Amino acid sequence: MRLIRVSVGIGAFILTASVAGLFAQAPAQGGAAQAGGRGQTPPPPQNLQVLPKDIPREELIATMRGYTAGLGVMCNYCHIQEGRGGRNDFATDEKAPKKTARVMITMMNHVNETLASGLGKTAADVTKVQCVTCHRGEAIPKNPPPPPPAAAAPAGGQAPGASSCNSELGIQNSERSGFLNSQF
């Protein structure tokens, strides 16, 4: 049992060190960051379709780390990443999860914009929906069991205690399902 714990601990340390090494940056020399110790500046990100094309590299990496944490996945879930000597292509659209991620990011941005404007607040004053809001560390979000049936609604009205959140935001059920159906 102790041998298993030690092996798992060593494996976790090696994995952590490997991942940290992937994101570590060499100190700048001559005003430019060095890529892989070869004296080259890293190329600018390619094929950005949802994120700003001029996003600073540090912000892009932080954003991607947020996605990996929110979905409980590694970079190679969406990107071609075969390690040293293998193919490392972050721009390609070969993997379906990357295409899905773009749709989900667009949906998330739409929800955040609609939420702020619907509440009449600035975007800074509204809690943002993020990947982790629904995914909670799972690549495919788990659906919780449905709530118990609500009491019957009185004639012509809402059920007692029912939320009027959608009406406050001006979002109709048809709009919500229309957006989601058009995106998938």
Instruction: List the domains of the chain with CATH numbers.
Output: 45-142+167-184 (1.10.468.10)
pTM above 0.75, yes or no: no
Q: CB-hemisphere CA count at 13 Å for 97?
A: 14
Closest CA to 126 of 71, 168, 159: 168
- pLDDT higher than 80, residue 26: no
Distance, CA of 67 to CA of 75 (rounded, Å): 9
Q: For 133, left (φ over 0), alpha (ψ -120 to 50), or beta?
A: alpha
Q: What confidence score (pLDDT) does residue 182 get?
A: 52
61-85 confidence digits (pLDDT tens): 999 999 999 999 999 999 998 888 8
Mean pLDDT of 138-145: 86
Closest CA to 40 of 51, 26, 54: 26
Interaxial angle between packed helices 173-183 and 96-119, expressed in degrees from 0 to 180 and rounded to the nearest 10: 160
Distance, CA of 51 to CA of 104 (rounded, Å): 12
Mean pLDDT, rounded, of the chain: 75
| Residues 6 or more apart whose Cβ sits within 8 Å of residue 167 | none
Q: Model confidence at 157, in pLDDT bands (50, 70, 90)? A: low
- CB burial class (10 A; 0-12, 13-18, 19+) of residue 147? exposed
With pLDDT > 90 as the criterion, what percentage of the chain qualifies? 41
Q: Model confidence at 160, in pLDDT bands (50, 70, 90)? A: low
What is the DSSP-derived secondary structure letter of residue 88?
E
Distance, CA of 109 to CA of 116 (rounded, Å): 11
- Asked whether 142 and 153 are in contact (CB, 8 A), the reply is no
User: What is the CB neighbour count within 10 angstroms for residue 122?
Assistant: 9
